Structure 1
């Protein structure tokens, strides 16, 4: 990946994926032009769920796959986990304490996961005070964590050193070309940290309302198009293309 001059760093659900025709058009757009970007997928899904989506949507496999809201990083082609990142984020991670403290909070359903890289809950709609109660409980007991609320229903409790933004920074530092040109793309609150890194970034037109609160800056593009069409729109904005 260090040989790539361009990178697309994108969330999957409701960002890259969501409109099959737009998805096809995006990758045709890259094929027809001088861009051959490296791919980094950054998703809230766990590894096997991400693979299922990639196969179902016939997505090209990425160079690097960041899963579980930035708590795990895997490398193509053998999909080995980055052990340095895993050790770093788990050093202060206390999943059993979190589960114990949150088990009696009402109106939340724990998401079934194959591991404890993150603790995730679905909050019943219309009860944002429950989210405050979860965060307050963790703060009161001085639990080190990174707390993310997104899409009006999803609560992700992550290791304090993790998150999509931190994981992307690590990958760019360790595996990307120094002067690489990139585009970050996302649609929901768990993408906010990543979209605020100060690199060219796009909020897709179908994004969750929570991203409207992100401060505007010259490298944050708010697309009119939806899903992959928004990525193509933003790519043309930041990197005007020349036909081969």
Structure 2
């Protein structure tokens, strides 16, 4: 596919999705620009769940789709899976061992997923999440650990996550001088919000992002959901 010149890389739930009027305003603004803005959805959902949401909420199809908290990357009109990223994400991945370790920890409920690109749990307490984190380190299981929303535990392959997937996307699919905006609202977005590109924390963000200090590349919007994305895009690129 042709290299992307302008990119919005955004989480879905609570960021791009959540305010229909704000989303219509954002997309209408993009339609007025001289050059198109490509869309990358970077989400914790799996592919089928994303497609359901796109149909239910009448969302535009993305140019790039990154699912399962950054463990699978799809591209093109037919959403072909990126084989290089898949190879990286499966090299040292041990989902069965992770599940076995988790069986001995109380307060963890396995999330029902269609595949094992990630292993995810609902934690009844931060103590349960921390116990799993410690056990995985003690057993020397290669992984990436993410705890967000005070409930969701995502165990990803080593080197996985939204931030690393975003960097791979930009390195392989985006022009070097492209205009980029990254948008998120929760803890599992933190790595991509701090990946070194212009980014926005929307006003409705979860409390876990409350203490993240804004800087020249990280903008804290006063508007929520897609309206916050539009506010940030105009902040970074409105004068161009």
Equivalent pair of 1:192/1:214 in contact (CA under 8 Å): no
For 1:105 and 1:87, the matched residues in 2 are separated by 30
1:133 is matched with 131
Q: TM-score, normalised by structure 1?
A: 0.95
Residue in structure 1 matched with residue 114 of structure 2 by the alignment: 114
1:98 aligned residue = 98
Residue 71 of structure 2 corresponds to 71
Separation in 2 of the partners of 1:86 and 1:32? 36
Give the distance between the partners of 2:66 and 2:75, measured in 1 at CA: 9
Stretches of structure 1 that go unaligned for 5 or more consecutive residues are none
SS in 2 for 1:88: helix
Which secondary structure state, in structure 1, belongs to the residue aligned with residue 154 of structure 2? Answer: strand
Residue 32 of structure 1 corresponds to which residue in structure 2? Answer: 32
SS at match of 1:178: strand
Cα pair 1:2 1:177 within 8 Å, conserved: no
Give the superposition deviation at 1:88.
0.9
Question: Cα offset for 1:32?
Answer: 2.3
Q: CA RMSD in A?
A: 1.3
Matched, 1:221 2:219: yes
Tell me the secondary structure at the aligned position of residue 114 of structure 1: coil
After superposition, the Cα gap between the structure-2 partners of 1:95 and 1:233, relative to the gap in structure 1 and judged at 3 Å, is same
User: C-alpha separation between the residues in 2 aligned to 1:120 and 1:173?
Assistant: 28
| Counterpart residue number, 1:5 | 5
The number of equivalent residue pairs is 240
TM-score with structure 2 setting the length: 0.96
Q: Deviations over 1:18-44 (max 9, x none)?
A: 011111111011112335201111000
Per the TM alignment, residue 3 of structure 1 is displaced from its structure 2 partner at its CA by 4.4
Rounded Cα–Cα distance in structure 2 between residues aligned with 1:201 and 1:123: 29
Superposed, 1:1-244 pairs within 5 Å as 2-124=2-124, 127-240=125-238
Moved more, 104-113 or 59-68: 104-113
Paired with 1:63 and 1:69, the residues of 2 have a C-alpha distance of 17
